[in-house]
Amino acid sequence: MILSNTDIKKINLDQLIDDYLIAGKIDKLLIVVPTNRRVRQLKKMLIDSTQRKTVSYINIETLWTLADKVLHKKMAYIDLDDAVAKVLLSQCFKKSDLKFFNKFKHQLPFGTLEKIKNYFSKLKENGIYPNEFFSLIEKVDETEKLKARDLQNLYSTYFQKTISQNIYEIGDVFYFLSNLDVTDINQYFQSVFPLVEKIIFLGFDELRKPEINFISKISSNKNVEVFLKFDYYKFNPKAFGHIIKTFIGLKKQKFNEVTDKSFFVNNELFTHFRQEIFKSKNVNRKFNSPNVFRIKANNRQTEIELIAKQIKSLILERNVNPADICVVFNLIENYSDIIRDVFEQYEIPLNLTDRFLLKQSPSVISLINLLEIIEDDYHYKAITKAFSNSFISNSIDINNLLKFSREFKITSNFNRWVSAVEMAKYNADEGDYNFDLAKVLYDLKSIKNLLEPFEKKHTIREFLKIFDELFVKTKMLQKILSLNQNAAERNIRSLESFFVNIKLMLELDEKELPDQKYDIGFFLDTLKGIASHTRFNIKEKTMECVLVTTVNEIRGLNFDYLFVGGLCNRDFPTKYNPELIMSKQIASGEISHLQKEKFYFYQAITSWRKNLYLSFPMKDNDSELVESNFLVELSEIIEINELLPESFDKIIFTKKDEYQILGSIDAKSLKMLDVTLNLSDENLNMISKKLEIEEIKRENSENPFSGGLDAGSQTDNGLNSLLKTISQKEFSVTEMETFSKCPFQYFAKNILRIAAEKDPTEMIESFELGNYLHKIFFLFYSEMRDRDIDIGSCDVQNYNLAKEILFKIAVDVIPPEIKKSQFSFYEIEKIFGLNGKESDSILIHFLEHERRENLEFKPRFFEVGFGNVKYNSTDDRLSSTEAARIDDINMKGKIDRIDLRNADNENQIRIVDYKLSGKKPAKNDFHDGIALQLPIYAFVAKSLLFQKLNVNYDVEGLKIFSLKYSEKDFRLVDFAGERKSDARIDELINLALEKIKSNVNQIKEGKFFLTKLENYGERICKFCDFKTICRINEII
């Protein structure tokens, strides 16, 4: 259908364009199309059709660019970017006195902000401005009045803010054009297009009232003939019904219907679509369509993989040019990330039109993260996030800072960081730490120097200057230019959008308060707002690529091979979402919404020449999806062929496919498959060997591929000497227990020195609390021994003295910063007494217990060290710097406490180990070698006592001192269980000694296999730090 401002009865617009082209008068034509892509495609087509003749100028515009150029002749203004609009709207929200939306306080949620912004844009595009909106809201239901008045208030504020600062979006442009008289508009139009005598509108399906008004005004010029061509078939209102409103609007503006004489390709199938689509109940016949295929996929990922396989087949088997293939979706955002990943795997050249969000750009985020260090008060997480980014050129050693942070429990505040460094220098030599203290200080000062300019308030002009300087200091541009072409282009485009919008947004604020100074919080809010709302495109590749876009973007275009994806309900058609407030004048309505999407579907399925592929997923994550009603209705009027996933099963498309096939077979089957894979002899042997190794590893047998280091090998690779050196070191009991649990865990932790990184915390951890209590009890009992005070038999005076000494030692031992920390408050309260009550403290529980229980045994030696341990808190009366010997094995450690029996002529001791948990070992733990500590300590204690006192002591008991806060659990627990006889203890000691010998012998032989203990999942693996690098779940 064609409408015109002329009295012409019939016309062939295609011929008209050709005639102007041949005559060299193409500059006298203005062609207006719906999309920029159609502009580019049509311009290229017209240039190609000139057969290399010189073309002076081709006038092709979208309706928006046409209106924009005309208005720019009247006034200067800035085009309002969508992201800037949302930030401005957010500012208006903060300044508006709202009732319905006051639950959001000072910040609208992102989704709500976007919905309101789109609603206001839609109002403008429909010619409904604040004054008109005010009259409309008076007609809404009482239930919606409060919300409507808030929206009217917000709309008015937002509209005035943008207009007063001369920043316009599409609706604003048509607002000003509607206020211009016909003479002015024609004058400006002639100024922009002085030679144009004919205007042709192609590919539009719907025009709003302000757009019709504008077209009518430029059509009033008697020297300009206007033609509007629509794809319309009046006998199928279900597919074309929404165009009628536009048709009526143009007829009211004196546009006449013209017979279309354009040559129509006699495509019987497309004619059938026009006549029968969505009329399935009245369909006359079902059309045979050998070139239309349906692809049914399990989920979105599989859907894209199947599309990629078919495209790859077309390119390789039929030599199809990728530029002749197009993939479209109604909601492309549901697929963008999947498409990028899959097409890269399948090595398919791609032009994807979906725009990126700035907040997904690593270069943009890295700049914001740097400034967040100030806002977050130099928090270790902010520092880590900023300087772990590869786009920031720096020499900051993050791991070194984190080690320092964990050691000194510093999580934030620059001054606290520096004070902790000074304290560390004072308390110990640098060699005592597992981090470089000088580097910590140097890095902190480097960060401070970089960010210090932002710590004070600035005007907007000052901020823009120092922000530009920060970008230069980071040397980010050099980093970006070293990336591959695609990554470099994406990051450069994102930074360009970021800086342009920041400058625009801040300069708008500057107009209101030119000399106002703001802190970093204000500027970060702006930067984050821009990053959250801005989308950017990367330039389309000039090489031949598959186009992936939305159905709206291909209006007027045709491709040899077209894939329409995402054909499930909710995607295509989408679910109708009612307007923010329901009004007949502005609500599109569910029927209208569905009519438009039906037309877009019709346009899509008539945009191909050779093959059409229609695909849909059955699931989205765990949600069941339903095949699109549109696809169901199409299948009612044509026969659709099924493209089955199985048809691709025997074809290798990617390296991943090859690896999956190789990983699913055994070595014997490989040679049978070799014909398909076409492997060289060298690769065949290599892969065969690797498959054999994988089979051996899955069996979990003891061999070089499952944890054995092959120490018996005749090859002199230094392994034997290395293992010999390791076996001669001093082992701690904890190391031996780790080996007993899982030799591989021991190998990863103690030989490879792999450590799971844990976050620094200001909260006192259980092992730290235990260390403090150990030290308190050690110092307390040492002084009691020096004063010859026996807690078990002391009088009231000595008891009170002991209590005073105990609390004083505790005050001295626990650092002030720990006592002041809000994170450690409860744990410290438990030590000194909840709510200030000493009677409710661990210290009093301990003192009372010792007074009550230590009648038979007297605590005598404390923190008894042996071997290479720190001796600043050990008992010099019994400790030894010599390692304890078990045959030729060296052991080191520290015994918490040794009690001696008070009775004469009874040479008995008991070994006491302080534990916060108080949990005693399970029966199997003794035999499995994961409860070695107290038996080994008993063995060592007997040896040390004999060396020092020349007395053979028997071990009467192995005790765990449970330091649990509750009074009933604060007690001594028998380590050995119910059987307390000397024979039972000797049995445990012998079991422990034999286990250690066995463990060290396996270390010497390089046997670091996976655990074979019963119920290893719960006992060993559940809390293991090395689960991510362990193959325990792969064994047969």
Predicted pLDDT at 430: 44
Report the pLDDT averaged over residues 643-670: 71
1026: in domain: no
pLDDT (tens digit, 9 = 90+) per residue, 828-839? 888 888 888 888
Report the pLDDT averaged over residues 851-871: 86
Q: How many Cβ atoms from other residues are within 10 Å of residue 673's Cβ?
A: 14
Domain CATH code at residue 99 = 1.10.10
Predicted pLDDT at 283: 61
Residue 637's closest CA among 233, 290, 292, 272?
Answer: 272
Predicted pLDDT at 1031: 76
CB 1010 within 8 A of CB 744: yes
Question: Do 927 and 830 lie in a common domain?
Answer: yes
869: in domain: yes
CB 39 within 8 A of CB 30: no
Q: Is the pLDDT of residue 584 over 60?
A: no
pLDDT (tens digit, 9 = 90+) per residue, 1-19? 889 988 889 888 888 888 8
- Which residue's entry shows tokens 């502009």? 39
Residues near 332 by beta carbon (within 8 Å), at least 6 away in sequence: 353, 354, 548, 549, 550
864: in domain: yes
Q: How many domains is the chain built from?
A: 6
Backbone angles phi, psi at 551, to 5 degrees: -65, -30
757: in domain: no
Cα–chain center distance at 702? 40
Q: How far apart are CA 861 and CA 876, in angstroms?
A: 9
The one-character DSSP state at 835 is G
Predicted pLDDT at 54: 60
Q: Is the pLDDT of residue 871 over 80?
A: no
pLDDT (tens digit, 9 = 90+) per residue, 754-796? 877 777 766 666 667 788 889 999 999 999 999 999 888 889 9
Question: Do 873 and 975 lie in a common domain?
Answer: yes
Q: Is the pLDDT of residue 558 over 80?
A: yes
Q: How far apart are CA 541 and CA 534, in angstroms?
A: 22
Q: What is the CA radius of gyration of the chain?
A: 40
Report the pLDDT averaged over residues 643-665: 75
β-strand partners of 294:
614, 642
Question: Do 68 and 87 lie in a common domain?
Answer: no
Q: Is the pLDDT of residue 816 over 50?
A: yes
pLDDT (tens digit, 9 = 90+) per residue, 281-301? 656 667 888 899 999 999 999
Q: Which of 505, 536, 567 is the last residue of a domain?
A: 536
pLDDT (tens digit, 9 = 90+) per residue, 100-151? 877 776 677 777 888 888 888 888 888 888 888 887 777 766 677 788 888 8
Q: Is the pLDDT of residue 615 over 90?
A: yes
Q: Which residue type occupies 503?
A: K
Question: Do 444 and 414 lie in a common domain?
Answer: yes
Question: Do 632 and 659 lie in a common domain?
Answer: no
Question: Do 349 and 368 lie in a common domain?
Answer: no
Predicted pLDDT at 675: 44
Predicted pLDDT at 565: 94
Residue 157, helix vs strand vs coil: helix
Report the pLDDT averaged over residues 813-837: 79
Q: Which of 264, 295, 329 is the last residue of a domain?
A: 264
930 vs 820: which has the higher pLDDT? 930
CB 889 within 8 A of CB 937: no
Q: The pTM is what?
A: 0.68
940: in domain: yes
Residues near 792 by beta carbon (within 8 Å), at least 6 away in sequence: 850, 851, 853, 854, 855, 858, 902
pLDDT (tens digit, 9 = 90+) per residue, 593-605? 788 889 899 989 9
- Please return the burial class of 266, using the count of CB atoms within 10 Å of its CB with bins 0-12, 13-18 and 19+: exposed
Predicted pLDDT at 674: 47
Question: Do 571 and 516 lie in a common domain?
Answer: no
What is the phi-psi region of residue 211: left when phi exceeds 0, alpha when psi lies from -120 to 50, beta otherwise?
alpha
Question: Do 925 and 796 lie in a common domain?
Answer: yes
Q: What string of DSSP letters covers 667-734? A: HHHHHHHHHHHT--HHHHHHHHHHHHHHHHHHHT-SSTTTTB--TT-SS-SSHHHHHHHHHTSEEEHH
Q: How far apart are CA 129 and CA 99, in angstroms?
A: 22
Please report which confidence band the pLDDT of residue 431 belongs to, taking 50, 70 and 90 as the band edges: very low
Name the percent of the chain lying above pLDDT 70: 87
What is the phi-psi region of residue 271: left when phi exceeds 0, alpha when psi lies from -120 to 50, beta otherwise?
alpha
269: in domain: no
Candidate from 86-90, 605-609, 739-743, 819-823 with smallest mean pLDDT: 819-823
Backbone angles phi, psi at 960, to 5 degrees: -100, 125
Angle at 1030 between CA 1027 and CA 1036, to 5 degrees: 115
Candidate from 313-322, 607-616, 634-643, 660-669 with smallest mean pLDDT: 660-669
Predicted pLDDT at 278: 83
Predicted pLDDT at 671: 54
Which residue range forms the structural domain that includes residue 451?
Answer: 359-536
As a whole number of Å, the end-to-end CA separation of the chain is 71
726: in domain: no
Predicted pLDDT at 429: 46
Domain CATH code at residue 53 = 3.40.50.10930
- Please return the burial class of 725, using the count of CB atoms within 10 Å of its CB with bins 0-12, 13-18 and 19+: exposed
Alpha carbons within 13 angstroms on the beta-carbon side of residue 959 total 23
pLDDT (tens digit, 9 = 90+) per residue, 55-88? 667 889 999 999 999 999 999 888 888 888 888 8
Question: Do 907 and 814 lie in a common domain?
Answer: yes
Question: Do 42 and 104 lie in a common domain?
Answer: no
Name the percent of the chain lying above pLDDT 90: 34
pLDDT (tens digit, 9 = 90+) per residue, 369-381? 999 999 999 998 9
Q: Which of 128, 150, 172 is the last residue of a domain?
A: 172
Predicted pLDDT at 485: 81
Question: Do 515 and 396 lie in a common domain?
Answer: yes
pLDDT (tens digit, 9 = 90+) per residue, 32-56? 998 888 888 888 887 777 665 566 6
Domain CATH code at residue 565 = 3.40.50.300
pLDDT (tens digit, 9 = 90+) per residue, 941-982? 999 999 999 999 999 889 999 888 887 788 888 876 655 566
712: in domain: no
Question: Do 85 and 67 lie in a common domain?
Answer: no
What mean pLDDT, rounded, does the chain reach? 84
